[in-house]
Structure 1
Amino acid sequence: TWCFWEKDRQSPFDSIVHRQWNQVYFHGTNFSSALELGPYSYKWLRGIDFYTFIKTDLAKNPNITFVQERIERVKDTPNGGFIITEHNQYLGGYVFDSTYSLKLNLPDCHNLLQHFKGWEIETDVPIFDPNCPIMMDYRVEQRGLGVRFMYVLPESPTRAMVEYTIFSDKLLPTTEYDAELHAYIKDFLKISDFRIEHEEFGVIPMTDEPTPSLDGEHVFRIGTGGGYVKASTGYAFQRTQRFTRELVKNLVTIGKPLPPKRSLKKRFKDLLDSTLLNVLLKSRASGKEVFTALYQKNPTPRLFAFLDEDTTLMDDLKIMSTVPLGAFTAGLFDALRKKI
């Protein structure tokens, strides 16, 4: 499952968007509200629909071959990118490698995991409001380091995806995810009788570990290992579209699929990501407090643009003025110290 927002433009995946909304609920510290999204739409895309769509589209091209083998090594050579699998060897002019694993233990980096478990549930009586999902619900118990929240994606009055999400340094026992989901469905959604139709589980690294996109002249890292995940939120779907469009544009225009340049603006955005990670890891302020302040004190369209890294310096300063000042000042200087 992917959830993302888009602004006033047609997406290449609009035909397979499962649901979309123009407002979302937010529940935080002494603040609950339905938030209007302005020019944005909040969209839900199911993984199975995305994979089917992409595979069907690629199958129309006779120059594309699908090969499924276990990759043992990817390396750069003078003649191109070289892939060694359990059965074969392949040489390409360029190799786009999404298999690179981040270390996630470098002492001068901030490392969290975003992990989540979701149940798609069905009820016999109408419970859900299909016109407005719950984007973040921080009323759940916050236990220890990091952030915990629920979100609810309604398909119909009787069916919804209920997801438990945690930002922390360690995964939980399976039984804890299940217990928290049960408690939320019972205590907050007021549902006592339901059926679990589908389950999902995932882990996304939230890290400011350096992620060089180039691994030689002919090997380009993409995806998580290429730095496509936004460190402070774990969002990657829209960033992946932007980054890969840039690769293709450069391949067509200059003959080489160079990644986007790391501009001064991008460096500043990365510093803000590191600052938030520092605040959460050092428990300078609770994640519940931080995200409540962001959603309560900022227009949602401005906040979405900020999270998309599509804001001006003035917009960034306005948004940062709404978070706990002491915690973020300390986090900023500590993050800078680690990078120097």
Structure 2
Amino acid sequence: MSGPLSGLRVVELAGIGPGPHAAMMLSDLGADVVRVVRPTTPEMDYTTTSHVLRGRTTVLADLKRSEDVERVYELVTVADVLIEGFRPGVAERLGLGPDEFTTSNPQLVYARMTGWGQSGPLANTAGHDINYISLTGVLDAIGPTETPLPPLNFVGDYGGGSMFLVTGILAALHERHSSRLGQVVDAAMIDGVSALAQPIHELRAIGAWEDGRSQNILDGAAPFYRTYECSDGRFMAVGAVEPQFWTLVLSGLGLKEASLPARDDRATWPDLCGAVGAAFLQHDRDHWVKIFDRTDACVTPVLTFSEAPSHPHVAARGALVGAGNDIVAASAPRFSRTPGRIAEGTPSTMTALDTAVKHWTS
């Protein structure tokens, strides 16, 4: 087993979304993860071919049966981390809440992943990524003027969810070195998304951000930070926030800056977007890729998921491996001495619960 988290033992009580994604990241970094799945769970939840479920051992346990709960309890007593994503109170009713391990495993980091958190008026209600980002103000800022559009489920589930869950786990493990005690990590997507949005709150505080969509520097309104359509219907992404990079954009397009509206005058942004957009429409995407390749113009093609693995830089980094629809993201980040597992679709393995317990207690 390789990776900086080699030797770390994690129990994951099966769920969907950010919990499994966080467990995948911990496994990619070397942790020994056992995923506990109910026998009645749909097949997709414990398939041996799921890439998100890669790199861990999967065991079946019916948590309505006292004997299975006891075996899971045994497993957790010798674990470093437990990940659960139930609604508040469910784990306690199962007899697997954090208080159950105060004596048997006082060093346990008990990581709880929810959308609304363990407290608050919405704590016990259902929700999904789109709901958590809508209440934080984030969704209102994304999409065209006419309507907010969800940015897939990256912002809530993974940006504000699994990434903060992993951060909380690692922080609690670090603190454990001095206290010799574990603690409960309450990771809520609504909290994580709010933290992600702090830079926008800072812009609002200085009067540099307006509520709504398509009227701010980062929401597609600025001519120097948006996408442009090419003659073949594909797109190029322009991120030339700094003036010197914008100059390179105009040079590549064959436009003279002196004849165009001022780039920092918001009143003229629509006109400037129109002029730049007309230039991009003169040629196909491949033409513009050649023009801007390896320049500081901050102009790149908008690739599909199918195209991305073949891009020279993505391929050189090995960030995505595989072919066709069978693409797998490699472990991230990278380490100089203890490289994580570079995943190549490695499946999880199904085994008996008793075997998993013996593996950790032997």
TM over 0.5: no
Please identify which structure carries the higher strand content: 1
How high is the TM-score relative to the length of structure 1?
A: 0.24
Higher share in helix: 2
Q: TM-score, normalization: structure 2? A: 0.23
**Greater RCO between the two (CA within 8 Å, min separation 6)?**
2
